[in-house]
Amino acid sequence: MKGHVWRPLYVVIGIVVLLLLFRFFYVPDDFGIQDQGFTFGFHRLSNEQEWKDFPAKYKGTEYCNECHDDKVASISSSQHEMIPCEDCHGPARNHPEDPEKLVVNRSRELCIRCHSKLFMPSSGRNDIPGIDPNTHNTGMECSECHNPHNPSLEDM
């Protein structure tokens, strides 16, 4: 065969060898998907304890229920029941000590992420009531008219 075929082949083989050598020396031996499969993706097995010791940013609805059982009960019986408290109220971290009071995101943009009218016939997305954000009460926050803990339009 001619040299114009072999030279590019040698270059490709050389690049593959260099990449494999780089990977051999750079990637730790315990890096991979481990025995959980792809549940946690690729990670270092020796790094798991470090992540377990990292303080949780989000606590979950059960944590909120300890002090705010009335609000949790209200939202649990509403159309927003599947939305965790911290989606709107921010991460609880060490609440109520730090921060003492959570900052509530009342922005229109937060609501429009789910309630902007979209047409997706093959998903459950059409079941969510949607609006045209360019014409529906522009310049106002949604919470001025709607109670996020009880979003039923009948109770407005």
pLDDT of residue 19: 95
Domain segments of the chain as ranges: 5-53, 59-144
CA 85, CA 19: separation in Å to the nearest integer?
A: 46
80-112 confidence digits (pLDDT tens): 888 888 888 888 888 888 778 888 888 888 888
pLDDT of residue 40: 63
155 closest CA partner among 85, 87, 79, 104: 79
Whether the per-residue pLDDT at 13 is higher than 90: the answer is yes
pTM for the whole thing? 0.57
